[in-house]
Structure 1
Amino acid sequence: MKADMNEFWQEFSVPLKNFIRKRIANEQDTEDILQEVFSRVYNNIDSLRDDKKIYAWVYQIARNAIVDYYRKENRPVEFRELTEDLANEPEDDLSVREEIGSCLKVMLENLPEKYKQAIILTEFHNLTQRELSEQMGISLSGAKSRVQRARVMLKEMLLGCCHFKFDRLGNIIDYTRKDCNFVEPEA
Protein backbone atom coordinates (compact mmCIF):
# COMPACT_ATOMS: atom_id res chain seq x y z
CA MET A 1 0.00 0.00 0.00
CA LYS A 2 2.88 2.41 0.71
CA ALA A 3 3.68 2.43 -2.99
CA ASP A 4 0.14 3.60 -3.72
CA MET A 5 0.32 6.71 -1.53
CA ASN A 6 0.03 9.05 -4.53
CA GLU A 7 -3.27 7.43 -5.51
CA PHE A 8 -4.31 7.48 -1.87
CA TRP A 9 -3.52 11.20 -1.68
CA GLN A 10 -5.54 11.87 -4.85
CA GLU A 11 -8.55 10.02 -3.47
CA PHE A 12 -8.55 11.26 0.12
CA SER A 13 -6.96 14.72 0.22
CA VAL A 14 -9.97 16.85 -0.74
CA PRO A 15 -12.67 15.01 1.24
CA LEU A 16 -10.41 14.72 4.30
CA LYS A 17 -9.52 18.39 4.16
CA ASN A 18 -13.21 19.28 4.01
CA PHE A 19 -13.91 16.94 6.93
CA ILE A 20 -11.17 18.60 9.00
CA ARG A 21 -12.11 22.13 7.91
CA LYS A 22 -15.63 21.65 9.31
CA ARG A 23 -14.10 21.03 12.72
CA ILE A 24 -11.15 23.45 12.72
CA ALA A 25 -11.58 27.18 12.11
CA ASN A 26 -7.95 28.01 11.22
CA GLU A 27 -6.92 27.08 7.66
CA GLN A 28 -3.23 26.58 8.56
CA ASP A 29 -4.19 24.25 11.40
CA THR A 30 -6.45 22.37 8.97
CA GLU A 31 -3.48 21.86 6.63
CA ASP A 32 -1.25 20.75 9.53
CA ILE A 33 -3.81 18.23 10.72
CA LEU A 34 -4.29 16.92 7.18
CA GLN A 35 -0.53 16.33 6.91
CA GLU A 36 -0.53 14.66 10.33
CA VAL A 37 -3.35 12.34 9.23
CA PHE A 38 -1.47 11.33 6.08
CA SER A 39 1.68 10.78 8.11
CA ARG A 40 -0.19 8.51 10.54
CA VAL A 41 -1.81 6.63 7.65
CA TYR A 42 1.55 6.13 5.94
CA ASN A 43 3.26 4.96 9.13
CA ASN A 44 0.46 2.61 10.17
CA ILE A 45 -1.04 1.36 6.90
CA ASP A 46 0.47 -2.08 7.46
CA SER A 47 -1.65 -2.46 10.60
CA LEU A 48 -4.88 -2.20 8.60
CA ARG A 49 -6.28 -5.72 8.60
CA ASP A 50 -9.25 -5.26 6.28
CA ASP A 51 -8.78 -3.08 3.20
CA LYS A 52 -12.57 -2.74 2.92
CA LYS A 53 -12.54 -0.69 6.12
CA ILE A 54 -9.96 1.84 4.96
CA TYR A 55 -12.43 4.75 4.85
CA ALA A 56 -13.58 4.20 8.43
CA TRP A 57 -9.97 3.71 9.53
CA VAL A 58 -8.71 6.89 7.85
CA TYR A 59 -11.56 9.02 9.19
CA GLN A 60 -11.02 7.63 12.68
CA ILE A 61 -7.38 8.71 12.41
CA ALA A 62 -8.60 12.15 11.35
CA ARG A 63 -11.01 12.37 14.30
CA ASN A 64 -8.22 11.37 16.67
CA ALA A 65 -5.89 13.99 15.17
CA ILE A 66 -8.57 16.66 15.66
CA VAL A 67 -9.06 15.62 19.29
CA ASP A 68 -5.29 15.70 19.79
CA TYR A 69 -5.20 19.20 18.30
CA TYR A 70 -7.75 20.51 20.80
CA ARG A 71 -6.22 18.66 23.73
CA LYS A 72 -2.59 19.60 22.94
CA GLU A 73 -3.16 23.33 23.07
CA ASN A 74 -6.05 23.12 25.54
CA ARG A 75 -8.05 24.97 22.91
CA PRO A 76 -11.79 25.44 23.23
CA VAL A 77 -13.78 23.20 20.92
CA GLU A 78 -15.60 24.95 18.09
CA PHE A 79 -19.34 24.36 17.96
CA ARG A 80 -19.78 25.07 14.27
CA GLU A 81 -20.91 21.49 13.69
CA LEU A 82 -24.02 21.93 15.79
CA THR A 83 -25.34 24.78 13.68
CA GLU A 84 -24.30 23.02 10.46
CA ASP A 85 -26.27 19.93 11.49
CA LEU A 86 -29.26 22.11 12.36
CA ALA A 87 -29.09 23.79 8.97
CA ASN A 88 -29.91 20.44 7.34
CA GLU A 89 -33.26 20.23 9.17
CA PRO A 90 -36.62 20.96 7.50
CA GLU A 91 -37.29 24.69 7.06
CA ASP A 92 -40.25 24.89 9.48
CA ASP A 93 -38.24 23.35 12.34
CA LEU A 94 -35.13 25.40 11.60
CA SER A 95 -35.71 28.50 13.72
CA VAL A 96 -36.74 26.49 16.80
CA ARG A 97 -33.74 24.21 16.41
CA GLU A 98 -31.35 27.11 15.82
CA GLU A 99 -32.54 28.85 18.96
CA ILE A 100 -32.27 25.68 21.03
CA GLY A 101 -28.85 25.01 19.48
CA SER A 102 -27.69 28.44 20.59
CA CYS A 103 -28.91 27.72 24.12
CA LEU A 104 -27.15 24.36 24.08
CA LYS A 105 -23.85 26.03 23.20
CA VAL A 106 -24.10 28.21 26.29
CA MET A 107 -25.16 25.27 28.43
CA LEU A 108 -22.27 23.15 27.15
CA GLU A 109 -19.84 25.91 28.08
CA ASN A 110 -21.26 25.89 31.61
CA LEU A 111 -20.81 22.16 32.19
CA PRO A 112 -17.94 21.15 34.46
CA GLU A 113 -14.87 20.58 32.26
CA LYS A 114 -14.72 16.77 32.51
CA TYR A 115 -18.38 16.45 31.49
CA LYS A 116 -18.11 19.08 28.77
CA GLN A 117 -15.14 17.30 27.24
CA ALA A 118 -16.89 13.91 27.40
CA ILE A 119 -20.06 15.12 25.67
CA ILE A 120 -18.20 17.10 23.01
CA LEU A 121 -15.90 14.23 22.08
CA THR A 122 -18.73 11.68 21.87
CA GLU A 123 -21.52 13.78 20.39
CA PHE A 124 -19.64 16.23 18.16
CA HIS A 125 -16.47 14.31 17.32
CA ASN A 126 -18.15 10.90 17.05
CA LEU A 127 -15.86 9.06 19.45
CA THR A 128 -17.28 5.91 20.95
CA GLN A 129 -17.37 5.72 24.72
CA ARG A 130 -14.57 3.14 24.54
CA GLU A 131 -12.45 5.55 22.48
CA LEU A 132 -13.31 8.30 24.96
CA SER A 133 -12.07 6.15 27.83
CA GLU A 134 -8.79 5.51 25.99
CA GLN A 135 -8.35 9.18 25.04
CA MET A 136 -9.03 10.41 28.58
CA GLY A 137 -7.18 7.59 30.34
CA ILE A 138 -10.20 6.47 32.35
CA SER A 139 -12.14 3.21 32.61
CA LEU A 140 -14.91 2.42 30.14
CA SER A 141 -17.49 2.61 32.94
CA GLY A 142 -16.05 5.99 33.96
CA ALA A 143 -16.40 7.26 30.38
CA LYS A 144 -19.98 5.99 30.16
CA SER A 145 -20.77 7.65 33.46
CA ARG A 146 -19.34 11.00 32.36
CA VAL A 147 -21.31 11.00 29.12
CA GLN A 148 -24.52 9.99 30.90
CA ARG A 149 -24.08 12.64 33.60
CA ALA A 150 -23.37 15.30 30.98
CA ARG A 151 -26.56 14.37 29.12
CA VAL A 152 -28.58 14.51 32.34
CA MET A 153 -27.11 17.92 33.21
CA LEU A 154 -27.92 19.30 29.76
CA LYS A 155 -31.45 17.91 29.91
CA GLU A 156 -32.01 19.47 33.35
CA MET A 157 -30.70 22.81 32.12
CA LEU A 158 -32.96 22.71 29.04
CA LEU A 159 -36.05 21.68 31.01
CA GLY A 160 -35.19 24.28 33.64
CA CYS A 161 -35.25 27.14 31.16
CA CYS A 162 -38.02 26.18 28.74
CA HIS A 163 -41.35 24.39 28.26
CA PHE A 164 -41.23 22.23 25.13
CA LYS A 165 -43.93 21.04 22.72
CA PHE A 166 -43.23 17.80 20.88
CA ASP A 167 -44.73 16.18 17.82
CA ARG A 168 -45.90 12.55 17.89
CA LEU A 169 -42.36 11.36 17.10
CA GLY A 170 -40.80 13.26 19.99
CA ASN A 171 -39.28 16.05 17.90
CA ILE A 172 -39.36 19.55 19.39
CA ILE A 173 -41.80 21.68 17.44
CA ASP A 174 -42.05 24.70 19.74
CA TYR A 175 -40.97 26.04 23.09
CA THR A 176 -41.57 28.89 25.48
CA ARG A 177 -39.00 30.30 27.86
CA LYS A 178 -39.65 30.04 31.58
CA ASP A 179 -39.19 33.10 33.77
CA CYS A 180 -36.05 31.92 35.49
CA ASN A 181 -32.34 32.50 35.44
CA PHE A 182 -29.98 29.93 34.04
CA VAL A 183 -28.44 27.89 36.84
CA GLU A 184 -25.07 26.20 36.39
CA PRO A 185 -25.01 22.46 37.11
CA GLU A 186 -23.30 21.08 40.16
CA ALA A 187 -20.15 19.03 39.49
Structure 2
Amino acid sequence: MRYCVDCIWEKFNVPLKRFIMKRVENEEDADDILQEVFIKIHNNVGGLMDHSKIHVWIYSITRNTIIDHYRKNNKKYEILELPEDIESFTEKESSYNLEIAHCLKNMVNTLPDIYKQAIILTEFKNMTQKELSEKMGISLPGAKSRVQRGRKKLKEMLLDCCCLEMDRRGNIVDYKHKSDECKYC
Protein backbone atom coordinates (compact mmCIF):
# COMPACT_ATOMS: atom_id res chain seq x y z
CA MET A 1 0.00 0.00 0.00
CA ARG A 2 1.35 3.39 -0.97
CA TYR A 3 0.55 6.53 1.00
CA CYS A 4 -0.22 9.92 -0.42
CA VAL A 5 1.84 12.45 1.56
CA ASP A 6 -0.72 15.14 0.72
CA CYS A 7 -3.43 12.95 2.27
CA ILE A 8 -1.30 12.45 5.36
CA TRP A 9 -0.82 16.22 5.54
CA GLU A 10 -4.57 16.81 5.31
CA LYS A 11 -5.30 14.30 8.05
CA PHE A 12 -2.46 15.03 10.47
CA ASN A 13 -1.21 18.61 10.11
CA VAL A 14 -3.70 20.22 12.55
CA PRO A 15 -3.50 17.56 15.30
CA LEU A 16 0.29 17.39 15.00
CA LYS A 17 0.58 21.16 15.28
CA ARG A 18 -1.51 21.06 18.49
CA PHE A 19 0.61 18.18 19.80
CA ILE A 20 3.81 20.12 19.10
CA MET A 21 2.50 23.42 20.48
CA LYS A 22 1.88 21.76 23.85
CA ARG A 23 5.56 20.86 23.99
CA VAL A 24 7.48 23.84 22.60
CA GLU A 25 7.83 27.45 23.60
CA ASN A 26 6.67 29.33 20.51
CA GLU A 27 4.76 28.93 17.29
CA GLU A 28 7.78 29.49 15.04
CA ASP A 29 9.55 26.51 16.60
CA ALA A 30 6.35 24.48 16.27
CA ASP A 31 6.12 25.33 12.57
CA ASP A 32 9.77 24.36 12.03
CA ILE A 33 9.27 21.07 13.85
CA LEU A 34 6.09 20.33 11.91
CA GLN A 35 7.94 20.93 8.65
CA GLU A 36 10.77 18.60 9.75
CA VAL A 37 8.21 15.95 10.69
CA PHE A 38 6.60 16.00 7.27
CA ILE A 39 9.97 15.90 5.54
CA LYS A 40 10.77 12.76 7.56
CA ILE A 41 7.35 11.29 6.74
CA HIS A 42 7.82 12.03 3.05
CA ASN A 43 11.31 10.50 3.01
CA ASN A 44 10.40 7.37 4.97
CA VAL A 45 6.75 6.50 4.35
CA GLY A 46 7.77 4.01 1.67
CA GLY A 47 9.56 1.92 4.26
CA LEU A 48 6.61 1.65 6.62
CA MET A 49 5.96 -2.07 6.96
CA ASP A 50 2.81 -2.19 9.08
CA HIS A 51 0.40 0.27 7.51
CA SER A 52 -2.12 -0.19 10.32
CA LYS A 53 0.34 1.59 12.63
CA ILE A 54 0.83 4.76 10.59
CA HIS A 55 -0.71 6.88 13.35
CA VAL A 56 1.73 5.59 15.97
CA TRP A 57 4.59 5.90 13.50
CA ILE A 58 3.78 9.54 12.73
CA TYR A 59 3.49 10.49 16.40
CA SER A 60 6.77 8.70 17.16
CA ILE A 61 8.48 10.74 14.46
CA THR A 62 6.94 13.89 15.92
CA ARG A 63 7.98 13.08 19.48
CA ASN A 64 11.54 12.30 18.38
CA THR A 65 11.73 15.48 16.30
CA ILE A 66 10.68 17.52 19.35
CA ILE A 67 13.39 15.83 21.42
CA ASP A 68 15.92 16.54 18.66
CA HIS A 69 14.84 20.19 18.66
CA TYR A 70 15.59 20.53 22.36
CA ARG A 71 18.86 18.61 22.12
CA LYS A 72 19.99 20.69 19.15
CA ASN A 73 19.31 23.89 21.07
CA ASN A 74 20.94 22.54 24.26
CA LYS A 75 17.74 22.99 26.21
CA LYS A 76 16.62 20.72 28.98
CA TYR A 77 13.20 19.29 28.29
CA GLU A 78 12.12 16.00 29.69
CA ILE A 79 9.24 14.84 27.57
CA LEU A 80 8.67 11.59 29.36
CA GLU A 81 9.28 12.62 32.95
CA LEU A 82 6.49 11.76 35.34
CA PRO A 83 6.09 14.74 37.66
CA GLU A 84 6.30 14.36 41.42
CA ASP A 85 2.96 16.05 41.96
CA ILE A 86 -0.12 15.34 39.92
CA GLU A 87 -1.16 19.01 39.83
CA SER A 88 1.57 19.81 37.32
CA PHE A 89 -0.52 18.12 34.62
CA THR A 90 -3.02 20.32 32.87
CA GLU A 91 -6.70 19.73 33.50
CA LYS A 92 -7.07 18.58 29.91
CA GLU A 93 -4.98 15.49 30.61
CA SER A 94 -7.02 12.39 31.13
CA SER A 95 -7.44 11.28 34.71
CA TYR A 96 -6.89 7.75 33.45
CA ASN A 97 -3.51 8.75 32.07
CA LEU A 98 -2.63 10.29 35.43
CA GLU A 99 -3.62 7.19 37.35
CA ILE A 100 -1.68 4.92 35.01
CA ALA A 101 1.29 7.32 35.22
CA HIS A 102 1.35 6.78 38.98
CA CYS A 103 1.26 3.02 38.42
CA LEU A 104 4.13 3.23 35.92
CA LYS A 105 6.19 5.35 38.29
CA ASN A 106 5.76 2.71 40.99
CA MET A 107 6.53 -0.04 38.48
CA VAL A 108 9.78 1.65 37.41
CA ASN A 109 10.83 1.72 41.05
CA THR A 110 10.37 -2.07 41.31
CA LEU A 111 12.47 -2.93 38.25
CA PRO A 112 15.83 -4.62 38.81
CA ASP A 113 18.46 -1.90 39.24
CA ILE A 114 20.11 -2.34 35.82
CA TYR A 115 16.78 -1.85 34.03
CA LYS A 116 15.54 0.82 36.43
CA GLN A 117 18.65 2.91 35.86
CA ALA A 118 18.46 2.44 32.08
CA ILE A 119 14.78 3.48 31.96
CA ILE A 120 15.20 6.49 34.23
CA LEU A 121 18.21 7.81 32.34
CA THR A 122 16.83 7.30 28.84
CA GLU A 123 13.13 7.89 29.30
CA PHE A 124 13.05 10.45 32.10
CA LYS A 125 16.41 12.20 31.75
CA ASN A 126 16.49 12.21 27.91
CA MET A 127 19.88 10.52 27.79
CA THR A 128 20.60 8.79 24.50
CA GLN A 129 21.35 5.09 24.57
CA LYS A 130 24.90 5.89 23.46
CA GLU A 131 25.30 8.24 26.43
CA LEU A 132 23.83 5.53 28.65
CA SER A 133 26.40 3.02 27.40
CA GLU A 134 29.24 5.46 28.12
CA LYS A 135 27.91 6.38 31.58
CA MET A 136 27.42 2.75 32.59
CA GLY A 137 30.62 1.51 30.94
CA ILE A 138 28.86 -1.03 28.73
CA SER A 139 28.61 -1.55 24.99
CA LEU A 140 25.97 0.29 22.96
CA PRO A 141 24.15 -2.98 22.15
CA GLY A 142 24.21 -3.76 25.88
CA ALA A 143 22.65 -0.39 26.69
CA LYS A 144 20.00 -0.85 24.01
CA SER A 145 19.23 -4.29 25.36
CA ARG A 146 18.79 -2.97 28.90
CA VAL A 147 16.41 -0.25 27.76
CA GLN A 148 14.43 -2.67 25.60
CA ARG A 149 14.20 -5.25 28.39
CA GLY A 150 13.21 -2.58 30.91
CA ARG A 151 10.43 -1.37 28.62
CA LYS A 152 9.28 -4.94 28.07
CA LYS A 153 9.16 -5.60 31.81
CA LEU A 154 7.17 -2.39 32.37
CA LYS A 155 4.71 -3.37 29.66
CA GLU A 156 4.30 -6.84 31.15
CA MET A 157 3.73 -5.39 34.64
CA LEU A 158 1.17 -2.92 33.32
CA LEU A 159 -0.72 -5.53 31.32
CA ASP A 160 -0.63 -7.96 34.27
CA CYS A 161 -2.10 -5.23 36.46
CA CYS A 162 -4.68 -3.58 34.18
CA CYS A 163 -6.88 -3.97 31.14
CA LEU A 164 -6.39 -0.82 29.08
CA GLU A 165 -8.56 0.72 26.41
CA MET A 166 -6.81 3.35 24.30
CA ASP A 167 -7.89 5.79 21.64
CA ARG A 168 -6.16 6.01 18.30
CA ARG A 169 -3.64 8.47 19.76
CA GLY A 170 -2.56 6.10 22.49
CA ASN A 171 -4.34 7.96 25.27
CA ILE A 172 -6.01 5.80 27.85
CA VAL A 173 -9.77 6.21 27.60
CA ASP A 174 -10.66 3.53 30.09
CA TYR A 175 -8.98 0.95 32.23
CA LYS A 176 -9.83 -1.62 34.79
CA HIS A 177 -7.62 -3.25 37.38
CA LYS A 178 -7.52 -6.99 36.96
CA SER A 179 -7.43 -7.33 40.73
CA ASP A 180 -8.59 -5.20 43.64
CA GLU A 181 -5.18 -5.65 45.20
CA CYS A 182 -2.85 -4.12 42.61
CA LYS A 183 0.53 -3.66 44.24
CA TYR A 184 1.49 -0.75 41.96
CA CYS A 185 -1.59 1.48 41.96
What is the TM-score when the length of structure 1 is the normalising length? Answer: 0.51
Q: Name the CA distance, whole Å, in 2 between partners of 1:159 and 1:139.
A: 30
- Structure 1: how far apart are the matches of 2:182 and 2:117? 21
Residue of structure 1 in register with 2:28 after alignment: none
State the secondary structure of the residue aligned to 2:94.
Answer: helix
- Whether the 8 Å CA contact 1:161–1:180 is kept in 2: the answer is no
Q: Is the 8 A contact 1:108 1:116 kept in 2?
A: yes
Shift in CA distance, 54/83, structure 1 to aligned 2, threshold 3 Å: closer
Q: Is the 8 A contact 1:86 1:94 kept in 2?
A: no
Larger Rg: 1
Q: How does 1:44-123 map to 2 (within 5 A)?
A: 55-56=73-74, 81-83=81-83, 91-123=91-123
Q: Which has the higher contact order (CA 8 A, sep 6+)?
A: 2
Match of 2:175, SS? strand
Query: Does structure 2 conserve the Cα–Cα contact (< 8 Å) formed by 1:86 and 1:98?
Result: yes
Structure 2 unpaired stretches of 5+:
1-70
- 1:85 to 1:135, Cα distance in 2 relative to 1, 3 A: farther
TM-score by length of 2: 0.52
> 5+ residue gaps in structure 1?
1-52, 64-80
In structure 2, the CA distance between the partners of 1:126 and 1:87, relative to structure 1 (3 Å rule), is: farther
Q: Is the 8 A contact 2:133 2:139 kept in 1?
A: yes
SS of equivalent to 2:147: helix
Partner of 1:157: 157
Which piece of structure 1 moves more, 97-106 or 140-149? 97-106
Measured in 2, the distance between the counterparts of 1:103 and 1:137 equals: 30
Alignment deviations for residues 25-80 of structure 1 (CA, whole Å, 9 cap, x no partner): xxxxxxxxxxxxxxxxxxxxxxxxxxxx9842x759xx9xxxxxxxxxxxxxxxxx
Q: Percent identity?
A: 54
Larger helix percent: 1
Q: Deviations over 1:116-163 (max 9, x none)?
A: 000000001000000000000000000000000000000000000000
> How far apart in 2 are the matches of 1:176 and 1:54?
40
CA distance in 1, matches of 2:94, 2:169: 17
RMSD, aligned CA: 3.3
Contact 1:166–1:173 (CA under 8 A) maintained in structure 2: yes
